[in-house]
Amino acid sequence: MTDATSPAPDSHHDGSAVAARAEGRWATFAIAILIFIVVLAAIGGIRHSTMPQYQVETIDPSTLHINGEFVESNLGSAVETDGSVTVRIVAQQYSFTPQCILVPVDTPIVFRATSADAIHGFLIEGTNINTMLIPGYISSLPARFDRPGEHLMPCHEFCGIGHQAMWAMVQVIDKAEFFKTSAGKRRLTCVE
């Protein structure tokens, strides 16, 4: 016999039933999240391995020096019509061309680089510019330097016996000076 004023004799039992139901719901929820993540990872993985990535630019490393944007006369810093600067670099065993890269401060810059032979590393010390240069592919990186200075640009990917001697310099100079020097020049470097 129960009434509204006294607790039901099996109220403790009801409480644990409610708790069990809530626990069940949370367990289902947690498992659903897990399944969702696994499915997402599977789709991502399958897609990545079956579809070409977007924004991958390829180039024939054997004809780099003969034609295309990486011919020697096209290497170095180029002023674009929008006022930005594109820097083209070729890495080869065991040097970068150009050896000294000249860029203006406070200007949007795009580094475009590739390798003529082995895999090289492209890193500008004191910045977050850091990538690999793989033969057959163009590495394109946006950059901006907020103060003038000199940065070492070592190859940081073991590329053969001369690896440790492979490096270039990046010189960041005053913007006005850069654009004054670039007037009338097709490509700019600081190679002496």
In the complex, the residues that contact ligand CUA under the rule CB under 6 A are 91, 94, 120-121, 155, 157-159, 163, 166
Contacts of 94 (CB under 8 A, 6+ apart): 155, 159, 160, 162, 163, 165, 166
Helical segments of the chain, H only? 11-50, 175-182
Residue with Cβ nearer ligand CUA (163 or 187):
163
Distance of alpha carbon 81 from alpha carbon 90, whole angstroms: 23
The residue behind tokens 């065991």 is 94
Tell me if 132 sits within 8 A of 111, measured CB to CB. Answer: no
Query: Least distance from C-beta 158 to ligand CUA, angstroms?
Result: 6
What single DSSP character describes residue 8? Answer: P
CA angle 11, 16, 20 (to 5 degrees): 145
Cα torsion 119, 77, 166, 129 to 10°: value is: -60
Distance of alpha carbon 97 from alpha carbon 89, whole angstroms: 6
Query: Least distance from C-beta 179 to ligand CUA, angstroms?
Result: 32
Query: Least distance from C-beta 169 to ligand CUA, angstroms?
Result: 15
Query: Least distance from C-beta 27 to ligand CUA, angstroms?
Result: 52
Query: Least distance from C-beta 63 to ligand CUA, angstroms?
Result: 21
Query: Least distance from C-beta 90 to ligand CUA, angstroms?
Result: 12
HSE, CB side, 13 Å, CA atoms: give it for residue 28: 6
